[in-house]
Amino acid sequence: MIANKLYEYNDARITTAIEASDHLDAVRARLASLLGPPAPNPFTLTFAGLERHMGEAPTSFVVNAMDLGDALRVLARLPSWREWYLAHGGTPDGQDADIVYLPQQSHPGLPTHGAYNDMRGEQESATEMGSKLIRHARPPAEPAPAPAPAPALPAARTIL
C-alpha cells in the first residue's frame, strides 16, 4: 500500500515540476521580449590599403555591431569609411581595389595597442539622422497593448 502511494506521490511531483518548468519558460520568454535585443558591442576591423606597399601599419576602425559581419555592413555605410577607401586604393565601383581586409586582426572589442579610427560617433550620428528621417516620414504607430500574463496553473505551484 505504501509503495503504491509512493508511486503516486513521485508521479505528482514530476507532473508538477514539468508544469512549473513550462510556466517559467513562458515567463522567461515574456521578459526577454520586454527587454528587447542585446545592445551592440564595439568591433575592430582592420584593413591595409596602399600604405602597406610603403611598409606602414594597416588601419583599424571601430564600430558598434552585433557580430563581425554586421560590423562590416555598418562600416561600409559610413561616409568617412568611403572617403578612406577611395583615398587608399579603392575604386568607386569596388572592382580592382588595392585594399585588403585583415580578418586575423579584426575582432570583437577595442584594439589593445596602436592607433585606430573610432567610427562610433559617426555611426550614432548617422543612426540619429536616419531615425529623424523615418520619424518625419510617417506618423508613429500606436503601441500594441501588452498582453495580460497568463495565470499560473494550480498544479504549477509547489507545495511544501
The average pLDDT across 60-76 equals 94
Given this model, what pLDDT does residue 160 score?
37
Instruction: Give whole-number Cα distances, 1 to 13, 14, 15, 99, in Å.
Output: 19, 20, 21, 81
Region of poorest pLDDT, from 51-60, 69-78, 81-90, 128-137: 128-137
Given this model, what pLDDT does residue 1 score?
61
| In contact, 80 and 17? CB cutoff 8 Å | no
pLDDT in tens, 23-65: 888 888 888 888 888 789 999 999 998 888 889 899 999 999 9
Among candidate residues 45, 34, 24, 33, the one with its CA nearest the CA of residue 101: 45
Whether pTM exceeds 0.95: no
